[in-house]
A and B are shown apart, each in its own frame.
Chain A
Amino acid sequence: MSDVQPIPDGVPERAARIAVHVFWGVARVFSVVALLVAWELLARSGTLTPYQLPAFTSVLARVWSDVTGGDFFINTGLTLYRALAGFAICTVLGVVIGMAMARNRIANWFFDPIVSIGFPMPKIAFLPVVILWLGVYDVSKITIIVIDAIFPVIAATVIGIQGVERELIWSARNMGANNRELLWQIVLPAALPQILTGLQVSLPLCLIVAVVAEMLMGGYGLGGAMITASRFANSVGVFAGIVEIALVGYVLVKGMAILRRRLLIWHQEAHDPSTA
């Protein structure tokens, strides 16, 4: 067994490693590029009408003209404003209600059945009721977003706070922390990973509901623009809308993940490669 070759080190191995790296790098974007090329070819081949599947290049051209014409920024801005306003309300209200439920028996008595029934409900069905009450403008859109997206935040806050280790609370108390300090310095930071998980569920929901509300009520906004395009059988506009909404969604979800890593830099999950 002594004549086993030592593992060669130096240039050839390094080159091989780089080659492997490049190969996987190419493979990583390969499927996306392949999909886009297949889309373009399928559209150009004429098996599908341009109405069913407009060419990717013409969709891109439409997105570009939206961007240069400013429509993109108006619509994206409005959709983002509604989704993020709803998200902000969900965050504050959800954490407050969750905290109240975890620490106060009366709040828990009142909200617990509402959350346990409301969470799994398809609350989007209440959209016509909200329109009936609040009209078709921003207030009703933001309201339905809050109704739909607040439950994950409440539930995550309750679970997070209930899961805070007793020892942490006891030692803080022992060192003379009052209620306020206990809440801000111990309980909330310790529950933060759970709360952020709830927020990460809530944010995409905000965007989904914002788009649906805009589609149903019309007007400006990415969803409204798409539904207008589809009424005029303008399928390039519809596909351009998808590309634009996908962009917004991607940026929001990635941004949230980055924010989580920033906020939880002290937490052990930051060093756990499985969550990266």
Chain B
Amino acid sequence: MKALIRYSPLLLIAIAWELSSRLGLVSQLALPPLSDVIRAWFDMLKDGELITNGMASIYRVFAGLALAIAVGIVLGVAMAWWRPVNVLVAPLVEIFYPLPKSALIPVTVIWLGFGDGSKILLIFLGCMLPVTIGAFNGARSSEQVIVWSARSMGASRLRVLWDVVLPSAMPELLNGIRTALALSFILLVSSELIVAQKGFGHLIGSLGANGTYDAMYAVVLTVAFLGFIADRIYLVITKRALAWREQAS
């Protein structure tokens, strides 16, 4: 009930959508009624069109993001832990961080073609730096006192890294990964819209070109809600991962 009241504006918008289209306030071409969109969604689900394209997209996001997280964490922690690494890598990070990542779309196509490879590379390159910076800031800010006491109690440098620095880097690191998650969906959809043979973005583009707008709306909403749900799931995981902090404070 509480949720219903909280989300009532969305319900209002949905009703307004349905009515304005049914009553002819806006052209049904520009805005097909919501009920048609929902019907088109179920049709595509039965066709399997949604599943095959969706699987392709989800695979790309997962692969690219997993690579970005793995490399980003190693790079960020190494930058915070060893000064030479920092000196070598920091200028590169500073140069590449402000680069609008969408500019890389044509290059990844030149390197790896129209398939999965170019999207995974794009998501990897685009999402790595937010993770790196999160890991770097987190690891750098771990309290010296704790590091020293761990050292004086006989922990080796690697041990300290694993048991002290990584856990205390967690909050910032997880924040960086959240940024990367949002970015990965943006890069996925835009690269698929521009060049792809399958995937959500490709489906949206080809449905739009065919003029089957109710189906196009259905896919657009699907992608949008997948991105939203991914973020919510991630938040739940984050809360679990940081539960020890809440207890401590």
Pick from B9, B100, B227: contact of A122, CB under 8 Å: B227
> Would A230 and B103 count as touching, CB distance under 8 A?
no
When chains A and B are docked, how far (Å) is the Cα of A133 from the Cα of B32?
12
CB distance A223 to B102 under 8 Å? yes
Question: In whole Å, how far is B11's beta carbon from the nearest beta carbon of chain A?
Answer: 9
Tell me the nearest residue of chain B to A274, going by C-beta. Answer: B141
**A215 contacts which chain B residues (CB < 8 A)?**
102, 105-106, 190, 194
Is A129 a contact partner of B220 (Cβ separation < 8 A)? Answer: yes
Q: A27-B88, A128-B220 are in contact. Are A120 and B194 (CB under 8 A)?
A: no
One of A29, A31, A132 near B208 (C-beta < 8 A) = A132
Q: Check A126–B102 contact: CB distance below 8 A.
A: no
Q: How far is the CB of B123 from chain A (nearest CB, A)?
A: 12
Q: Does A252 contact B (CB under 8 A)?
A: yes
Question: Is there a chain B Cβ closer than 8 Å to A204's Cβ?
Answer: yes
- Asked if B103 and A242 make an inter-chain contact with CB atoms under 8 angstroms apart, the answer reads yes
Interface contact B91-A227, CB-CB below 8 Å: no
A28 with B87: CB separation less than 8 A: yes
* B3: min CB distance to chain A, Å: 10
Restricting to A58-99, which residues have a CB under 8 Å from any CB of B? none
CB-based contact A120/B110 at 8 Å:
no
Tell me whether B101 is interfacial, beta carbon within 8 Å.
yes
Which of the candidate stretches A111-119, A165-173, A186-194 sits at the interface with the other chain? A111-119
Q: Cα distance A35–B219 when bound, in Å? A: 41
B231-A120 in contact (CB<8A):
yes
Distance of A254 Cα from B94 Cα, bound (Å):
10
Q: Is there contact, CB below 8 Å, between B100 and A211? A: yes
Q: Mark A241-258, 1 if CB is under 8 A from B, else 0.
A: 110011001101110000
Q: In the bound complex, do residue A128 and residue B208 qualify as a contact, i.e. CB atoms below 8 Å apart?
A: yes
Q: Which residue from chain B places its CB closest to the CB of A126 in the assembled complex?
A: B220
A134 to chain B, nearest CB (A): 10
Q: Which single residue of chain B is at the shortest CB-CB distance from A32? A: B91
How many B residues touch A, CB cutoff 8 Å?
Answer: 56
A242 touches B204 (CB 8 A): no
Cβ-closest chain B residue relative to A117: B228
A264 to chain B, nearest CB (A): 19
Residue of B nearest to A237 (CB): B106
Which chain B residue has the least Cβ–Cβ distance from A239? B107
Known: A30-B88, A120-B231. 13 other contacts (CB 8 A): A27-B87, A52-B111, A109-B8, A125-B220, A128-B220, A212-B194, A216-B194, A223-B102, A235-B110, A238-B110, A242-B107, A246-B96, A250-B99
Q: List 17 A-B contacts (CB under 8 A).
A: A27-B87, A31-B91, A120-B227, A121-B227, A122-B185, A125-B189, A125-B224, A129-B216, A132-B30, A210-B100, A223-B103, A238-B110, A242-B99, A245-B103, A246-B96, A249-B98, A254-B98
Question: Which A residues are within 8 Å of any B CB, using their own CB?
Answer: 24, 27-32, 35, 51-52, 109-114, 117, 120-129, 131-133, 148, 204, 207-212, 215-216, 222-223, 226-227, 229-230, 235, 238-239, 241-242, 245-246, 249-250, 252-254, 274
For the complex of A and B, 6 pairs with smallest distance between CB atoms = A120-B231, A122-B185, A253-B98, A230-B106, A122-B227, A245-B103
